[in-house]
Homo-oligomer: A and B are copies of this chain.
């Protein structure tokens, strides 16, 4: 069920089999599988999963190519709740490993927040990442186009940019490297530094070889209408016309709550085995937070794998059937 500030206390004295941090594609898929394994599950979601911002999922098997990401999340949440999973809108601040259980510290609500501690035997980190976007004076101008034709994922949207005039927006020379694989889809590429960093002579030579343009002036704003970006206005008032954009500025990793636990990372991503277990035997990581490709269908599969391994662990330890509502008192 959906937990509220009013019903919190009915759930803080139980130990969930699994607490899932994050209600995006990976977390919801894990929750659906876990509940179908008769494991008691609590998903805690802060809102605004990365896929929530995707206007159209072009490559998810079984759904029309214009399905908004938020529709998948809405359907997935309803599916999970129909299986009697618990769901809470909240922000996980900290996780303490107590040996047999985790104590998960949560802040609920933005104004006059409530604080609560939930306990679980296993933890699934499904809290994902969010893309850094160009920092302009008016961020609303950026949000107007991000997720529409200002893309953040080459693998997802390279096809959408084929033969178009594409802008690449980076925050370092290495972040601009994405221009070269983007060249698979279109030769019409302009790179933007927003005046924030220098580009080496060697890199300039490579751009010239490929016939790509480099713009080093600060960006005043994106221009366009109806969420379709049609170009960039620079600080000096000049305009570069574009048909699409690709932001390549890295990501914020939503994993601060794991800071007290010793886990293995690779460039910010959690390292997992093939069933998505991290270096901690009772912590799994799924979706964009783990090493691997950031795709909705892969996140959904990640959730299935992690849930299944946790079921195997618990089943092998307990052997016998448990009723769906059972839980161990804290």
Residues of A within 8 A of B (CB): 25, 28-29, 32-33, 36-38, 58-65, 67, 71-72, 75-76, 79, 82, 155, 158-159, 162, 181, 183-187, 274, 292-293, 295, 297-298, 300-305, 308, 311, 315, 320-322, 324
User: A293-B304, A304-B298 are known contacts. Are A185 and B321 too (CB-CB below 8 A)?
Assistant: yes
- Asked if A75 and B58 sit within 8 Å, CB to CB, the answer is no
- Asked if A25 and B308 sit within 8 Å, CB to CB, the answer is no
User: A61-B28, A62-B72, A321-B183 are known contacts. Are A36 and B300 too (CB-CB below 8 A)?
Assistant: no
Task: Give the chain B neighbours of A158 by CB distance below 8 A.
Answer: 36-37
20 interchain pairs (CB within 8 A)? Answer: A32-B61, A36-B58, A36-B59, A36-B159, A37-B184, A38-B162, A38-B184, A60-B62, A61-B72, A61-B303, A62-B72, A62-B75, A62-B300, A181-B315, A183-B320, A185-B321, A274-B274, A293-B308, A295-B304, A298-B304
Q: A159 to B36, alpha carbons, bound, how many Å?
A: 5
Task: Give the chain B neighbours of A58 by CB distance below 8 A.
Answer: 36
Task: Give the chain B neighbours of A155 by CB distance below 8 A.
Answer: 308
- Asked if A159 and B60 sit within 8 Å, CB to CB, the answer is no
A22 smallest CB distance to B (angstroms): 14
Q: A158 to B33, alpha carbons, bound, how many Å?
A: 11
Task: Give the chain B neighbours of A297 by CB distance below 8 A.
Answer: 29, 297, 300-301, 304
User: A185-B321, A304-B293, A321-B186 are known contacts. Are A63 and B63 too (CB-CB below 8 A)?
Assistant: yes
From B38, B61, B183, contact of A29 by CB (8 A) = B61
Task: Give the chain B neighbours of A72 by CB distance below 8 A.
Answer: 61-62
Q: A33 to B183, alpha carbons, bound, how many Å?
A: 18
| Most chain B CB neighbours (cut-off 10 Å) among A38, A60, A67, A302 | A60
| Most chain B CB neighbours (cut-off 10 Å) among A36, A67, A305, A322 | A36
User: A32-B61, A184-B315, A298-B304 are known contacts. Are A38 and B75 too (CB-CB below 8 A)?
Assistant: no
- Asked if A37 and B321 sit within 8 Å, CB to CB, the answer is no
Q: A298 to B33, alpha carbons, bound, how many Å?
A: 12
A99 smallest CB distance to B (angstroms): 25
Residue of B nearest to A323 (CB): B163
**Apart from the given pairs A61-B79, A183-B320, 5 other A-B contacts in the complex at a CB distance below 8 Å:** A36-B158, A59-B304, A62-B72, A63-B75, A185-B321
- Asked if A25 and B304 sit within 8 Å, CB to CB, the answer is no
Q: A315 to B182, alpha carbons, bound, how many Å?
A: 10
Q: A59 to B60, alpha carbons, bound, how many Å?
A: 15
Task: Give the chain B neighbours of A274 by CB distance below 8 A.
Answer: 274, 292
Task: Give the chain B neighbours of A60 by CB distance below 8 A.
Answer: 62, 300
Task: Give the chain B neighbours of A162 by CB distance below 8 A.
Answer: 38, 324
- Asked if B321 and A293 sit within 8 Å, CB to CB, the answer is no
